[in-house]
């Protein structure tokens, strides 16, 4: 499911993230992810039909408090969507955040991901900012 959510990441790094989560679980702000919630459908094979990866960040765009609970990843199997599974995962994530004292919950999605945008809005998220991210590879001592 992680590979379906993040298809641009190579499989070994996705597996390494999971291995690190189980080998060195951390429940402190800044840990990525800090918690993983899963949705299971009894009687199906495989039984897992969705997940939410959560963290607490010192800062999130549009938020005023710190730490901010953050929905790092949210996925429901395509054939199980529109059955309340995503809503249940987000509700459980909100409970997790409240129990840790967070007053705000944030998330992000690529600007062209209209399905994610609609899903977030349907669950009460408000869109606060659209940013463009840039990168530049640094080599030797070269500049522009």
Mind giving me the DSSP string for the chain? -HHHH-TTS-HHHHHHHHHHHHHS---STT-SSSEEEEEE-TT-SS-EEEEEEEEEES--TT--SSSEEEEEEEEE-GGGTTSSHHHHHHHHHHHHHHHTT---EEE---TT-HHHHHHHHHTT---------------TT---
Query: Which pLDDT does position 144 carry in this prediction?
Result: 60
Spans of all domains in the chain: 2-122
Determine the CATH number of domain 2-122.
3.40.630.30
To the nearest whole percent, how much of the chain has pLDDT over 90? 58
**Bigger pLDDT: 52 vs 130:** 52
Neighbours of 26 (CB within 10 A): 14
Q: Give the model's pLDDT for residue 143.
A: 64
What is the per-residue pLDDT for 107? 96
CA atoms within 13 A on the CB side of 137: 1
Mean pLDDT, the chain, whole residue set: 89
Q: How confident is the model at residue 52 (pLDDT cuts 50, 70, 90)?
A: very high
Average confidence (pLDDT) over 6-14 = 88
Q: For 73-125, how does the pLDDT look when each residue is reduced to its tens digit (9 = 90+)?
A: 999 999 999 999 999 999 999 999 999 999 999 999 988 999 999 999 999 99
The confidence score (pLDDT) of residue 87 equals 96
Residue 5 has pLDDT above 70, yes or no: yes
């Amino acid at each position: 499911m992680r590979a379906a959510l993040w298809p641009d990441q190579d499989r070994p790094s996705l597996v390494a993230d999971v291995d690190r989560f189980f080998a060195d679980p951390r429940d402190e702000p800044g840990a990525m992810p800090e918690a993983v919630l899963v949705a299971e459908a009894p009687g199906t094979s495989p039984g897992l039909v969705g997940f939410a990866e959560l963290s607490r960040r010192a800062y999130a765009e549009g938020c005023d408090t710190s730490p901010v609970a953050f929905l790092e990843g949210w996925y429901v199997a395509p054939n199980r969507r529109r059955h309340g599974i995503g809503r249940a995962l987000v509700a459980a994530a909100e409970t997790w955040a409240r129990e840790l004292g967070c007053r705000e919950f944030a998330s992000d999605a690529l600007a062209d991901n209209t399905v994610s945008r609609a899903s977030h809005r349907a669950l009460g998220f408000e869109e606060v900012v659209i940013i463009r991210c840039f990168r530049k590879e640094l080599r030797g001592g070269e500049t522009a």
